[in-house]
Amino acid sequence: MRGVWARTAATAEPTAIFAEDWESGIGDWSVSNGSWQVGRPIGGCSAHGGANVAGTDLTGYYERWTDSRLESPVIELPETPVDGTIWLRFWHWFANDEEGDYGRAEISVNGGAFTAVGRHFLAHSGVWSP
């Protein structure tokens, strides 16, 4: 399951604050400037869990050099998780054109500018990875 997690008690396991499995379609997510789709993949990979994925082109190839974003609905996060940590966890499989295309995860706080988190995803993963 993909989502946002936090520890809600000092001894508790992290619990999901928000999760998405794509089985009900795109839902409240939005797409900016691009070809993001939700559904069954036709070329490249199979779904990690269930039948559906979110991807930039479910039939195979995306349009190169497109600057596009798949945005979640607004997520209300706890002000102070017990251990001070909130995790963004997701599984991904990617195949980017090796001539400079890449993917990345970004966050926006209170509607502000988006900030990249973690590393860029370059080239081709070949497998689903956490």
Residue-wise pLDDT tens digits, 69-81: 889 999 888 777 7
Taking phi first (over 0 means left), then psi (-120 to 50 degrees means alpha), and beta for anything else, what does residue 76 get? beta
Q: What is the DSSP string of 65-125?
A: T---EEEPPP----SS-TTS-EEEE--B--B--TTT-EEEEEE-STT---EEEEEEEESB-
pLDDT (0 to 100) of residue 95: 74
pLDDT (0 to 100) of residue 110: 87
What are the beta bridge partners of residue 129?
92
- Whats the size of the chain, residue-wise? 130
Enter the pTM of the model: 0.77
pLDDT (0 to 100) of residue 1: 41
pLDDT (0 to 100) of residue 54: 87
Residues of the chain with pLDDT below 70 are 1-12, 43-44, 60, 122
